[in-house]
A and B are shown apart, each in its own frame.
Chain A
Amino acid sequence: MQKRAVVSVVGKDQVGIIAKVTNVLADNQINVLDISQTILQDFFTMMMLVEVKDGEDIDALHHHFEAIENELGLTINIQLEDVFQSMHRI
């Protein structure tokens, strides 16, 4: 079943963050639905809405993101979208 998840990326701004993160998504056949991004006091913050198939996808992505997290000093999270919907929408 298709589900939507939110990928959030936070870290010091530098060249190639978006490229590297989206590359991982592309390699794993993950479709991106929406991206928004901002820079706050030198800190890069990006939120992406993506389509995942099930829990396994999320597990695998966690694993794939680890390498970029270490290389670029970023914090990358991926969470199913439902949790945001239930907290912020009635």
Chain B
Amino acid sequence: MSLAFDEIQETIRMVQMESLDIRTVTMGINLRDCADSDFEKVKKNVYDKITSYAAQLKPVAEQVEKEYGIPIINKRIAITPIAEILGKATVDQAVELAQTLDQAAIKLGVDFIGGYSALVHKGISKGDQTLLDALPKALSVTERVCASISIATTRTGINMDAVKQMGTIIKQTAEFTKENSSIGCAKLVVFCNPVEDNPFMAGAFHGAGEGEAVLSVGVSGPGVVLHALKRYPDADLGEVSDIIKKTAFKITRAGELLGRVVADRLDVPFGIMDLSLAPTNAMNDSVAEILEEIGLERVGTHGTIAALALMNDAVKKGGAMASSYVGGLSGAFIPVSEDNGMIRGIEDNALSLAKLEAMTCVCSVGLDMIALTGGVTPETLSAIIADEAAIGMINKKTTAVRVIPVIGKTEGDTVEFGGLLGRAPVMGVNPYSSEKMIKRGGRIPAPLQALIN
């Protein structure tokens, strides 16, 4: 069937004026066979495997980008959670392995490598503990390595011993990278109910159920959705949902096509399509502005949760129709520093930390890229993580915490992270202590799956 003039124009407009892009193609690589009793061999195995499997990732993605005329912004790698191959390694060796990963990423020219991870939602093994101890140093001496820690799931409950450690680890990472606005924390995410095939950073890792290698895609396009809504200022909310659905459908189809072409040329199976709307600091490429276009004067005011729930659900419905394999996080991301609308909401006192928490109940993923006052205590950080994990655990969804206590800054300051990470107003925390609860440790038991009101 031939294409109509206005259909061609619509696609071109989406790419050139409305920031339609493929946010990331992420290659998942299994590293389990890299384990060895000799740690030098482990490092070599890991480096060799990653650099051979993903050797063509960047060139192929760039070629496909040219042929189809849709930009692919990031090329990334997700690996087996590193704690699982650490074995008897020492903390220093674990840091060395992070550097090895960093070198592999630089050699390949990929933007990030995710999977410096441990899954400790029920208990902490020896390798997990080594990784946790290595985290602050590893994140401060590497550039492109991303870490994620799973501390809770709906089936296991919340491991509060791990939550307690994470508060200290985040604070320490902030201290270690204080010369650079505590940027180390931007590469560390704490999860409840993590998914094994998420292509987005910082939380990507190649889960245990995945194959040898796989290629997954994350699309983006808040700008496209925003412009589509602007053309229908008087639509009722049912129609708004429909417009978002149709737009998400088109974006997803483009993303899946490009993802499949890249996977095919790299000769690895196509994994999943992640439908998340991921904002950037580009003009009009903001999730918050979509909520404002739906009818809020500022994001964060009353009605924000309802608008977000509508949008998130419509994106999923449109995307699920468009792709045969939907996975990953698939929803709307609400990172603060990467979204101009969210930044403005905070600056205008419309959006608070409490409202951000509430927003995470209805969308992926959680408290993301939020700058906190540098004086925040490790126990308060742990308590923030525990709250977010509880939301995820009870609602059977993924939630995450990626907060950055910016050493030397206090509430009201602004911090620049640069590049895709953007800038953020520093937020204050509740001044009252949660120390006693965090010190208790132990596990919060898994919730009932019935009697759910």
Taking beta carbons and an 8 Å cutoff, which residues of A are in contact with B? 6, 8, 10, 34, 36, 38, 45, 47, 49, 55, 58-59, 62, 75, 77-89
Contacts and interface: CB of A to CB of B under 8 A. Distances in A.
A47 B257 CA distance: 22
Interface string B1-39: 111110111111000100000000000000000000000
Interface stretch (B66-74, B308-316, B437-445): B66-74
B253 interface: yes
Contacts of A80: 67-69
Contacts of B66: 55, 58-59, 62
A75 B3 CA distance: 21
A6 B8 contact: yes
B370 to A, nearest CB: 35
A55 B8 contact: no
Given A55-B66, A59-B66, A84 B9 contact: no
Interface of B: 1-5, 7-12, 16, 63, 66-70, 250, 253-254, 256-258
15 contacts: A8-B8, A10-B12, A45-B9, A47-B5, A49-B3, A55-B66, A59-B66, A75-B16, A78-B69, A83-B68, A83-B257, A84-B3, A86-B253, A88-B3, A88-B11
A47 B2 CA distance: 13
Nearest to A52: B67
B2 A77 contact: no
Nearest to A3: B67
A75 B17 CA distance: 13
Contacts, number: 64
A13 B115 CA distance: 52
Given A6-B3, A81-B3, 4 more contacts: A45-B9, A47-B5, A80-B69, A87-B254
Contacts of B253: 86-87
Chain B interface, DSSP helix/strand/loop, else mixed? helix
A55 B63 contact: yes
Contacts of B16: 75
B258 A88 contact: no
A63 B48 CA distance: 36
A6 B16 CA distance: 15
Given A55-B66, A79-B68, A88 B7 contact: yes
Shortest Cβ-Cβ A-B pairs, 4 listed: A79-B69, A88-B7, A86-B257, A86-B253
A75 B66 CA distance: 15
B257 A82 contact: yes
Contacts of A87: 7, 11, 250, 253-254
Contact of B12 (A77, A82, A85): A77
A34 B257 contact: no
Given A34-B2, A83-B258, A58 B67 contact: yes
Contact of A38 (B5, B7, B63, B68): B5
Nearest to A36: B5
A80 B7 CA distance: 14
Nearest to A55: B67
A9 to B, nearest CB: 11
Contacts of A58: 66-67
Nearest to B20: A87
Contacts of B7: 84, 87-88
A83 B69 contact: yes
B254 A83 contact: yes
Contacts of B12: 8, 10, 77
A36 B1 CA distance: 16
B124 to A, nearest CB: 45
Contacts of A36: 5
Contacts of A45: 9
Contacts of A59: 66
B105 to A, nearest CB: 26
A6 B10 CA distance: 13
B5 A83 contact: no
Nearest to A79: B69
Contacts of A38: 5
Contacts of B9: 8, 45, 47
Contacts of B68: 79-80, 82-83
A34 B3 CA distance: 10
B254 A86 contact: yes
A85 B67 contact: no
A34 B63 CA distance: 26
B3 A83 contact: no
A27 B120 CA distance: 63
A55 B12 CA distance: 19
Contacts of B8: 6, 8, 47, 84
Nearest to A77: B69
Nearest to A8: B12
Contacts of B258: 83
